[in-house]
Amino acid sequence: MSNERNQTVRQEIITYLEEELRSVRDLSQSIGIMEKDVYHHLAFIEKTVRQQKKRIQVEPCHCLDCGFQFKKRKTFKKPGKCPMCRDGRIASALFQIVAEGKGNDGKG
């Protein structure tokens, strides 16, 4: 079984994120890498796309119990617990690469 790639892992992630909103799990399964590795690559991809006048738009994680949204997260990683209700059932963030000025969040 050949495991050759035509693109690097980061290039593949960029390609998928330019198409549509994707979760880390979607990317992990599509590319064949662990979820924790996707988070690692996203930090570098953010710098790469910034040079292209693009950005990673984030639809933030939210608590499945109380609905709290993690809008002010500075990292891409999923939080462990909700600060409001302490529940651990957190919906994953969704990511997409968009041109600067598009989208409604400021990635903050």
pTM: 0.80
CA 89 – CA 21 distance, rounded (Å): 21
Please state the domain extents for the chain: 9-99
pLDDT tens-place values along the chain, 108 residues long: 345 567 899 999 999 999 999 999 999 999 999 999 999 999 999 999 999 999 999 999 999 999 999 998 888 888 999 999 999 999 999 999 999 876 554 443
Half-sphere exposure of 83 toward its Cβ, with a 13 Å CA cutoff?
8
Q: Positive or negative, the Cα torsion across 41, 42, 47, 53?
A: positive
CATH node for 9-99: 1.10.10
Under DSSP, the state recorded for 62 is E
Closest C-alpha to 43, from 73, 3, 4: 73
